[in-house]
């Protein structure tokens, strides 16, 4: 009887663990799938002071002007990665020129590496927190807020101020490399009412499942101990 009781407790604890961490595992798994298909682009300012933030945007503008014709027709992650690597020196020269022309003597660093990022939204896309490959231009101490976009798929070249037009272009680019499930997980245009309704249904379903499981466990304990 003691072994049976221990087995029941073990099953109960296992259920709690799965229920607690299952959702987190699924989220992390989806983030990894998404990250494996993206290259992000970040320009990080020296500080959050207005003049440093303005300089960041000037650097961004000149780099995008140079890289647009080179990256906008890229069809693969490897192709984009190669283009970025081949043009890294020129990007540095452009950025350093902008910094100098604006009267600053900041150092500059560029890297194509994997970094951890918080949740970020760009137009109709919201990427979950996690580890992503990113090309980063770091100005000076790099302690300011950063501007970012997605280099592959080439969303940097979609004007996110164009409303529905931009949304359709974004969807087209993302769906060229993402599955429907992956795209839905980053699409932030889902109607709030639908989201709330789905969330409510999921919560109700969870509550019902908890009641059923708890009831079954209680019944097992009753049978073992003849309560």
User: How does pLDDT run across 98-152, given as a tens digit for each residue?
Assistant: 999 999 999 999 999 999 999 999 989 999 999 999 999 999 999 999 999 999 9
For residues 10 and 223, the answer to whether their CB atoms sit within 8 Å is no
Of the candidates 25, 44, 72, the residue with the CA atom closest to the CA atom of residue 134: 44
Of the candidates 131, 144, 115, 159, the residue with the CA atom closest to the CA atom of residue 35: 131
Category of 197 on φ-ψ map: left (φ > 0), alpha (ψ -120 to 50) or beta: alpha
User: How does pLDDT run across 45-76, given as a tens digit for each residue?
Assistant: 999 999 999 999 999 999 999 999 999 889 99
CA 67 to CA 57: how far, in whole Å?
A: 15
Two tokens at 1? 């009887």
For residues 134 and 112, the answer to whether their CB atoms sit within 8 Å is yes
User: How does pLDDT run across 151-169, given as a tens digit for each residue?
Assistant: 999 998 887 777 787 888 9
> For tokens 């409303």, what's the residue?
163
Q: Residue 87 burial by CB count (10 A; 0-12/13-18/19+): exposed, middle or buried?
A: middle
How much is the pLDDT for 9?
56
Give the pLDDT mean for 28-35.
Answer: 91
CA 86 to CA 39: how far, in whole Å?
A: 15
Please provide the average confidence, as pLDDT, over all residues in the chain: 81
């Amino acid at each position: 009887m003691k072994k049976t009781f221990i087995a029941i407790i073990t099953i109960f604890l296992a259920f709690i663990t799965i229920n607690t961490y299952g959702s987190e595992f699924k989220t992390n798994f989806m983030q990894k799938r998404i990250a494996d298909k993206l290259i992000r682009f970040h320009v990080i300012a020296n500080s959050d002071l207005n003049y440093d933030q303005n300089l960041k945007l000037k650097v961004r503008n000149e780099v995008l002007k140079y890289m647009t014709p080179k990256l906008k027709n890229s069809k693969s992650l490897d192709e984009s990665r190669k283009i970025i690597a081949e043009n890294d020196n020129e990007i540095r020269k452009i950025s350093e020129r902008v910094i100098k022309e604006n009267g600053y003597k900041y150092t500059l660093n560029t890297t194509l590496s994997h970094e951890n990022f918080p949740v970020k939204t760009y137009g109709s896309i919201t990427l979950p927190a996690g580890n992503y490959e990113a090309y980063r231009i770091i100005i000076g101490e790099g302690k300011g807020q950063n501007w970012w976009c997605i280099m592959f798929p080439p969303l940097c070249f979609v004007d996110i101020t164009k409303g529905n037009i931009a949304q359709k272009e974004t969807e087209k680019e993302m769906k060229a490399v993402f599955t429907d499930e992956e795209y839905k997980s980053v699409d932030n245009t889902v109607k709030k009412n639908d989201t709330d309704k789905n969330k409510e249904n999921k919560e109700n379903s969870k509550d019902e499942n908890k009641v059923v499981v708890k009831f079954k466990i209680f019944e097992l304990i009753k049978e073992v101990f003849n309560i």
